[in-house]
A and B are shown apart, each in its own frame.
Chain A
């Protein structure tokens, strides 16, 4: 199915958010995720089933002012 990851369309196998993140190559501990602009806490990644056209944002720390 198609989902949008950081604004880009990608094909993924239907499944849980945690599995999709691994399939995309996200392995680092220090990321935070929102789906459809709603925060998804890390402990709930396993119970979050992604749907077609869901918008996934994966964020990490950077310098800031």
Chain B
């Protein structure tokens, strides 16, 4: 596989895939999936810890083995204040100023709350964080996030965990067109490698996914498939797609075609 280089907030990355670490059948499988995916960014979370549980020591050992950049999330937060507090706790624990900012506005489809998201983004940037906001595909919200100073924005393809793929390619293509200097990562909703490839074909810089790999029958094989699809999608974007036409155009030259096709 060719080495793909891009950067986020000044950090060079060799993969365009950010991989979640949750919901796998076993710790061994997630490690194998990370290797197969060739990712160099994995997401993590925080939860309440009972005394003498060891502070997640086993998980820390796992994280150290991966040699990946960590992207902690604020999953479960419903207000800017909650998300800011959790981000500060994440920064201390994970020793990174990266934060995947999630502020949920609707529990039914886990849709981001744009108002709280913008408030939290502003405050976190003031506090020195490098914010990776998880957002809907709304152009105005994404534009505001860019204006606040986000170098990367992560609109959903579809709601988290649905596997429905890119349900509004028009909106995503519009974001690509209107925010040409922003790193765009489709976050959530990816179910198949073809969905990931489609995001890259649209000119997105990467994808973040978890369940599509974790809940596949064979997560390791699916991780490999995602890596291949992302590489293919990016190559296609760089190659430039042919123009779409409403009418057929013969591929075979018509000069000298056999007589039985003419009247």
Residue pair A61, B59 in contact (C-beta under 8 Å): yes
CB neighbours (8 Å) of A59 from chain B are: 46-49, 86, 89, 93
CB proximity of A22 to chain B, nearest CB, Å:
10
CB proximity of B78 to chain A, nearest CB, Å:
12
Q: Say yes or no: is B22 at the interface (Cβ < 8 Å to chain A).
A: yes
Cα distance A37–B89 when bound, in Å? 11
Interface, chain A (partner B; CB < 8 A): 6-7, 24-34, 37-39, 41-42, 57-65
Q: Which residue of chain B is the closest to A37 with respect to CB atoms?
A: B85
- Chosen A-B contacts, 21 in total, with CB atoms closer than 8 Å, are A6-B49, A25-B51, A28-B55, A29-B55, A32-B89, A32-B93, A37-B81, A57-B48, A60-B55, A60-B59, A60-B93, A61-B94, A62-B56, A62-B59, A63-B20, A63-B22, A63-B30, A64-B20, A64-B73, A65-B20, A65-B211
How many A-B residue contacts, CB cutoff 8 Å? 110
Q: State how many residues of chain B have any CB contact under 8 Å with chain A.
A: 40
Could you mark each residue 76-90 of chain B with 1 if its beta carbon is under 8 Å from any beta carbon of chain A, else 0?
A: 000001100110111
The 4 closest A-B pairs by CB, nearest first: A28-B55, A64-B45, A25-B51, A65-B20
Q: Say yes or no: is B104 at the interface (Cβ < 8 Å to chain A).
A: no
Highest count of chain B CB atoms <10 Å: which of A27, A32, A33, A60: A60
CB proximity of B245 to chain A, nearest CB, Å:
40
CB neighbours (8 Å) of A30 from chain B are: 55-57, 60, 93
**Extra 13 A-B pairs, beta carbons < 8 Å, given A59-B46, A64-B22, A65-B43:** A6-B50, A26-B49, A28-B55, A32-B90, A59-B48, A59-B86, A59-B93, A60-B47, A60-B93, A61-B46, A62-B56, A64-B44, A65-B210
CB neighbours (8 Å) of B94 from chain A are: 61
CB neighbours (8 Å) of A27 from chain B are: 52
Interface, chain B (partner A; CB < 8 A): 20-24, 30, 43-57, 59-60, 63, 72-73, 75, 81-82, 85-86, 88-90, 92-94, 160, 210-211
Cα distance A56–B89 when bound, in Å? 13
Q: Which residue of chain B is the closest to A59 with respect to CB atoms?
A: B46
Residue pair B23, A39 in contact (C-beta under 8 Å): no
Cα distance A34–B82 when bound, in Å? 10
Q: Which residue of chain B is the closest to A33 with respect to CB atoms?
A: B89
CB proximity of A18 to chain B, nearest CB, Å:
14
